[in-house]
Structure 1
Amino acid sequence: MLYGNALRDEIASAGTTPLIGVYDMYSASLAAKHYDALFVSGFGFAASYYGLPDIGFIAWPDMVAFAERLRGAFPRHHLLVDIDDGYVDTELACHVVRRLERSGISGVVLEDQQRPRRCGHADGKQVLPLEDYLAKLDRVLASRTDLLVVARTDATDDEDIMIRAKALAATDADVVLVDGVRDVGAIRRIREAVGTKPLLFNQIAGGKSPRLSLTELAALGVDVAVYSTPCLFAAHRAVEDAMTRLKAADGLLPATGATGGAGVGEATALLMDNLRRHSTR
């Protein structure tokens, strides 16, 4: 199966294609019941795998191994993986792209940040000289055959954003992402700057970008919407609440079932579905 082409076709269809950020196999199992496209964000992976912020700690073998496990469990879902800056080195970026493509990953996001890197919605981001990033991007594009590539800029200056958005749209990258867009007006300007190239918008709760529905994004000409951390942040609140209630109840577990929390039966059924998909791939 050509996973990259399948995602291209999905993006080319009417409306805005949503990709849901997952941070481990369990969150992916739940998200996959509701959506056909999943996203592995650097923020979620750094938080879940290392317990650290998204500032450059991710080791590429860890990310590749997780992506490979996801593909094994979800053989028919679109899978987009954030590979940050390609782990600094251009040769390494190309190697990771080839590994992910052989593993059946649909696409990757490659950013123009320089180290020390930051979450796309954090302050203090620094970007590579445009020529340096374009050279890396061109090498990555030449190393893939089917894999979809999202070219991402983390520029924060309005003039620089427009210059970079136009430059990225002129490459053979499949999609353009300007991360940390602050308002609807900027989305409109970026949409005009990239011409006919598909445009991706990244939404993260509490981030710098406005909260917009898929209908609103489609009206703005956005082709893809990535929801980076809905599972992670939902788990954060749910686990915190569960621990507070357990302590208040003197260690008495809550009831399970329709009016209570999940239990071993529901969790096992979810995981058995994964096992069946592994067995029939």
Structure 2
Amino acid sequence: MNHPKLFRSAIAEKKTMSLMGVFDVFSASVATQHHDGLFVSGFGFAAAHYGLPDIGFIAWPDIVAFVQRLRLAFPCHHLLVDIEDGHIDPETACEVSQQLEAAGASGVILEDSKRLRRFGYVEGKTILPLDDYLEMLNLILESRSDLFVVARTGATAEEEILVRTKAFADTGADAILVDGLRSKEQICEVREAIGDKLLLFNQIAGGKSPRLSLRELTQLGVDVAIYGTSCLFAAQSAMEEALTELKHADGRLPECSSESIGITECLALLKKNVRRQHPTDVPDL
């Protein structure tokens, strides 16, 4: 199955495609009930796998292993992967992207952040010199087979954003992503600057960008919307609520209702993964 080709075909439809950020296989199990596309964000992965902020702790073999596991569980879903700054150098960036393509990733996002890294929506983020980033981006493009590649900038000054996005558009990158666009007007400016390149937009709760519907994004010319942290933040919120309620109830579990999740509902979700991976031998759970 050519996952990059299928991904490009799906994006070619007129509506903005949505990719739901997942942080482990369980969150992906829930997300695939509602979305055809998944996004592995550095923020969610660092939080779930290390309990740390996304500032450079991720070891690239861990990302590759996670994507291998996701692809085994979800063989038909689109899968876009954040490879951050390429994990330090151009050679490593090429190795990571090649291994991810071999593992079944649809595409990768390479950003121009500079070590020590900061999360894209945090103030004080520094970025690589443009020539250094373009060297790494072009090496990935030359080494890929058919992998979908997104060029991403964390630039904040309007002039610098336009300089970088125009330079990205002149490469063989498939799409462009700008962190933290603050208005519809900025989205339109970037859309015009990159010509016929595809445009991605990152939706982050509490971030700097406006909250926009998929219909609004389609009208603005956005091709793909990624929701990198929606599952992670929802999980944190639900766990806080459940554990606070349990504490106040002196440890007594609440009554199960038709709207709550219990052992039956959880097993029903997990059993779907067994069917996908072992369709001829589904145990009685």
TM-score by length of 1: 0.98
- After superposition, what is the alpha-carbon deviation per residue over 1:217-248, rounded to whole angstroms, capped at 9, x for unaligned? 00000001001111000011100000000011
Over 3 Å off, 4+ runs:
none
**Partner residue, 1:274:** 273
In 2, Cα distance between the equivalents of 1:278 and 1:256? 30
Residue equivalent to 1:108: 108
Is the aligned partner of 1:21 residue 2:48? no
Residue of structure 2 in register with 1:168 after alignment: 168
1:105-155 residue CA offsets vs partner (Å, 9 max, x unmatched): 100000011101111111111111101100100000111111100110111
Runs (5+) with no aligned partner, structure 1: none
Q: In structure 2, how many angstroms separate the alpha carbons of the residues matched to 1:79 and 1:278?
A: 17
Q: Which residue of 1 aligns with 2:204?
A: 204
Deviates more, 1:261-270 or 1:210-219: 261-270
Matches within 5 A, 1:85-234: 85-234=85-234
Q: Per-residue deviation at 1:216?
A: 0.3
Distance 1:72 1:37 in 2: 15
**Superposition CA RMSD, Å:** 1.0
- Which amino acid in 2 is paired with 1:176? I
Aligned: 1:235 with 2:216: no
Partners in 2 of 1:254 and 1:40 — Cα distance?
A: 33
Amino acid across the alignment from 2:129: P
TM-score of the pair, normalised by structure 2: 0.97
Larger displacement relative to structure 2 (184-193 or 116-125): 116-125
Q: Which AA in structure 1 matches 2:261?
A: A
Q: Distance in 2 between matches of 1:237 and 1:123?
A: 24
Counterpart of 1:152 in 2: which secondary structure?
strand
Aligned-partner SS, 2:126: coil
Residues in 2 aligned to 1:43 and 1:62: alpha-carbon distance in whole angstroms: 14
How many Å separate the matches in 1 of 2:112 and 2:279? 39
State the alpha-carbon separation in 1 of the partners of residues 82 and 273 from structure 2.
Answer: 23
Q: Point out where structure 2 has 5 or more consecutive residues left out of the alignment.
A: 281-285
State the alpha-carbon separation in 2 of the partners of residues 113 and 280 from structure 1.
43
For 1:262, the aligned partner's letter is I
Deviations 1:60-100 (A, max 9, x none): 01111111110000000000000001101111111111111
Per-residue CA shift, 1:182-237, capped at 9, x if unaligned? Answer: 11111010000001100000010001111000000000000010011110000111
Q: Distance in 2 between matches of 1:255 and 1:12?
A: 47
Which residue of the partner structure matches residue 80 of structure 1? 80
Q: Which residue of 1 aligns with 2:263?
A: 264
Identity over aligned residues, as a percent?
A: 59
| CA distance in structure 1 between the aligned counterparts of 2:102 and 2:58, rounded to whole angstroms | 21
- In the alignment, the residues of structure 2 paired with residue 125 and residue 207 of structure 1 have an alpha-carbon distance, to the nearest angstrom, of 14
Give 3-state SS (helix, strand or coil) of 2:20's partner. Answer: strand
Q: Summarize the alignment of residues 11-50 of structure 1 with structure 2, pairs less than 5 Å apart.
A: 11-50=11-50
Partner Cα separation in structure 2 for residue 181 and residue 120 of structure 1? 11
Secondary structure of the corresponding residue to residue 237 of structure 1: helix
- SS in structure 2 of the partner of residue 159 of structure 1: helix
Determine the C-alpha separation between the residues in 2 that align with 1:101 and 1:57: 22
Amino acid at match of 2:3: Y
1:175 Cα deviation from its structure 2 partner: 0.6
Distance 2:93 2:261 in 1: 41
